Amino acid sequence: MLDYEKTRNFQFADVRHAYTSRDSILYALGIGLGADPLDRNELPFVYEKNQLAVPSMASVLASPGFWMRENKALGIDALKLVHGEQSVTLHRTLPAAGTVIGRTRVMRIVDKGEGKGAVIHTEKKLFDEATEQLLATVEQVVFCRGDGGFSKISGGGDEPAPPFEATPERAPDLVIDMTTRPDAALLYRLSGDLNPLHADPAVAEKAGFPKPILHGLATYGIACRALLAHFCGYDARRLRSMRARMSSPVYPGETIRLECWRADGAVAFRARVPERDLLVLTHGRADVAAAA
């Protein structure tokens, strides 16, 4: 069972991550940029000349890794972890290559009750090593399905975070369909998440899936790609922040349909897989700066 005090006060070592132009290109290809090699708008993300980085790549840089699985003393049931929510706030333009320092902390642990799971919120601040400037703040929520009721055993527990605002009830202002590649998970995993659930059919079947699933952060990145294209004119500097709740997995090869609503410098969004009429991202919001 989750140990509140040990987990809440877990000390993360700083993570130094040197990444190259090639890494940024791999990330961009992994979320579907460059599918049309003649698209001059997308070429800067997948070609080293005047290269740009996708803002959502901040989510995979200087990651603390599988710390909940590797530190058994925390008592977390690692087999029942689910990535619940993700947000990225950009303080400066993310370089296409460089060295960054990631500093992570646990912000909140919420006990939803016995049989209902627990929720862990973490925050990662990403600094440029050379200038020591803060580049991005990345927040992640993990749902620990097997750890509800920990407060009765180990004590402690924090108040729930304010909920994300739901998307509007009216029809969306814009609908964007994006087809994913059948090998999308095999390509995206080269950006750091080598969990065999996304590559090995036998592992996927053991976990209850008919085949390997796409990474939740890949779905998140694909949504970022659509926002860049349709609301930022491919200007990565204009995407200031982005958040979403991950509600269901996508299978590589499926269509991701992004439904968007404009609202005073922001975009509310959600994503569904039309082949199964299933929502895969909900409560999405992106803050977009006006064009210069």
Has 109 been annotated as catalytic? no
Sheet of 255-263, strands arranged across:
15-19, 98-111, 118-128, 134-144, 81-90, 239-246, 278-288, 266-273, 255-263, 174-179
Q: Of the residues 121, 198, 215, 283, which is catalytic? A: 198
List the catalytic residue out of 84, 102, 192, 216: 216
91 is catalytic: no
**Per-residue confidence of the chain (292 residues) as pLDDT tens digits?**
899 999 999 999 999 999 999 999 999 999 999 999 999 999 999 999 999 999 999 999 999 998 998 999 999 998 888 899 999 999 999 999 999 999 999 999 999 999 999 999 999 999 999 999 999 999 999 999 899 999 988 789 999 999 888 899 999 999 999 999 999 999 999 999 988 999 999 999 988 899 999 999 999 999 999 999 999 999 999 999 999 999 999 999 999 999 999 988 899 999 999 999 999 999 999 999 998 7
Q: Is 177 a catalytic residue?
A: no
Angle of helix 216-231 relative to helix 21-30, nearest 10 degrees, comes to 90
Q: Which H or E element spans position 229?
A: helix 216-231
230 is catalytic: no
Among residues 30, 193, 221, 283, the one annotated as catalytic is: 193
Q: Global pTM?
A: 0.95
For each of the domains in the chain, give its residue range(s) and CATH number, in order of start: 1-161 (3.10.129.10), 163-292 (3.10.129.10)
How many other CB atoms sit within 10 Å of the CB of residue 14?
Answer: 11
